[in-house]
Amino acid sequence: MIQFPPLDPEMADLAGKNLIFKIGPPDQGERLDRFTAQVSGLSRSKIRLLIDFGAVWVRGRACRQQSKALRDGDWVTLQVPTYGPVRFYEIDPARILHEDEWLVAYDKEAGLPSQQTPYDAHNNLFAALRRRDPDGYLALHHRLDRLTSGVMVFGRHKGANQGLSRLFSQGDMEKRYLAVVDGVPERDEWEVDRPIAKRKGSYYCPTDAPGRPARTLFTVLARGANRALVQARPLTGRTHQIRLHLNACGHAILGDAAYGGPPARRLMLHAARLAFNHPVTRAALVIEASPPEAFDPGNLDSRP
């Protein structure tokens, strides 16, 4: 389990926000650290930490030069990390699920981004795996939502890239997820075939507009009084596909505030299994990540 640092009280009100400040003639020549402190209300010492961390951008690019002179027409973006400018994450070797010359698979923790975010280039799985072998090669071919746990596979050699890309793009990577959902489905198995579109930065299943085709197969593994443990097998790879499809059929995932799920300590979605033929050796591979205790069928009626 990740040991997240405590929230910084000075930054709490700005954490997770994306603030943009335009530079006008009165600010011409002002230092980046002094200007950002003045407009944000944070102390200059905190701003200097955020600049060093890569959370302050000028004209759409991270800027780590504290004394950079701003010009009329510039814009400064301040994106305060939820836990402040703290480098706290490194991989746990025990969570490596598979490793060979070509691939490495890892059981990603819930709450951890798969890759760099605009406000944090350190605390993510891809960067941490790179730090583990700084002279090696690493390629990202798919992502899990920050709130989702489970199997991720990365390329460790350029020779694996074409094969891995083909596995994901052609649907030859069999994926299985576990989800704890609100309500108890009547059917043991069903399919959702509904397109997914994006509108104003959010994903949804349109009923009166085009979208990208998306199909998911669902199987009930266990039923509780008001919840169920469901296996999801996505046949396409759209963003938030499982979350949207479960919400669309009236069984939102616990902890999925974005799509109508009841409150929970975490998003109850776990990438449990990837099955595929090795992109180089062609050997059959099944990589599984054991689900957290909260996914145990015996815990369905407990508050996660």
Tokens standing for residue 273: 């299994």
CB neighbours of 133 closer than 8 A, spacing ≥ 6? none
Residue 104: closest CA among 82, 125, 80 = 125
CB 79 within 8 A of CB 15: no
Q: Measured between alpha carbons, how far apart are the two ends of the chain, in Å?
A: 15
Burial class (CB in 10 A: 0-12, 13-18, 19+), 168: middle
Catalytic, out of 145, 172, 296, 301: 145
Tokens standing for residue 45: 């010492």
276 - beta bridge partners? Answer: 285
> What is the torsional sign of CA 211, 214, 220, 221?
negative
Tokens standing for residue 192: 């959702």
Place of tokens 């991989």: 91
Residue 220: closest CA among 233, 207, 209 = 233
- Judge whether 145 counts as a catalytic residue: yes
CB 180 within 8 A of CB 304: yes
Active site residues: 145
